[in-house]
Chains A and B, each alone.
Chain A
Amino acid sequence: DVKVTQSSRYLVKRTGEKVFLECVQDMDHENMFWYRQDPGLGLRLIYFSYDVKMKEKGDIPEGYSVSREKKERFSLILESASTNQTSMYLCASSFRLSGELFFGEGSRLTVL
């Protein structure tokens, strides 16, 4: 069964802390994505990667960075968490850039 696994389902962090969200896929997909999902705002793309060590900004990259050192792993980093980054974070992968997205179960981050 194909799978996208996110490291943490629930996290609680304090303002100013550094936060790592990790995502692993087992489908050998070239493309990986990080979205955040907020009520009334839908899914918004933060960053995506189309190859190892390659990344591109999405619609809302401010306050975030990413790392893709291996094909199967894509990490989202919040250098200094703020309360407005409290959200559901969804990782996804795809075979083609505009193809079907396979999502993880999500990581719900609360920043106090």
Chain B
Amino acid sequence: TQLLEQSPQFLSIQEGENLTVYCNSSSVFSSLQWYRQEPGEGPVLLVTVVTGGEVKKLKRLTFQFGDARKDSSLHITAAQPGDTGLYLCAGVGGGSNYKLTFGKGTLLTVNP
């Protein structure tokens, strides 16, 4: 069974601060997806990383896939209240294992 550990579980910061959330596993994933879920809504895909060492940027959000494709990080620069939400990572198993494994998420609150 492939497991994804996300840390921290909860994060409460002030507007303008920077933060990093982590998604770690002992398993190798062929790709990894990051979703954000706002209160009362379903998760929405932010980015998919595929190649080991890959870095993708989405405005103030920077996503990195580890070289060994076992871990990923999400860094937010100058957080805003609109960034508040639950951040979920989801890994796709390697080979013929197409199954998506979700982490338990990081609940981020950005206070004005």
Q: Which residues of A contact B (CB under 8 A)?
A: 4, 40-45, 90, 92, 96-98, 100-101, 103-106
Contact = CB atoms under 8 A, between A and B. Distances in A.
Contacts of A44: 102
A103 B43 contact: yes
A58 to B, nearest CB: 9
Contact of A42 (B33, B92, B98, B102): B102
A98 B92 contact: yes
For the complex of A and B, the 7 pairs showing the least CB-CB separation, nearest first, are A103-B42, A42-B104, A98-B98, A97-B98, A98-B92, A43-B102, A100-B45
B contact face: mostly helix, strand, loop, or mixed = strand
Given A42-B88, A100-B48, A106 B98 contact: no
B105 interface: yes
A contact face: mostly helix, strand, loop, or mixed = loop
Given A4-B42, A106-B42, A98 B105 contact: no
A105 B42 CA distance: 5
A98 B88 contact: no
B88 A101 contact: no
Interface in B63-102: 88, 90, 92-93, 98-100, 102
A42 to B, nearest CB: 4
Contact of A41 (B31, B42, B92, B104): B104
A8 to B, nearest CB: 14
A99 to B, nearest CB: 8
A63 to B, nearest CB: 20
A44 B3 CA distance: 12
B103 interface: yes
Nearest to A31: B98
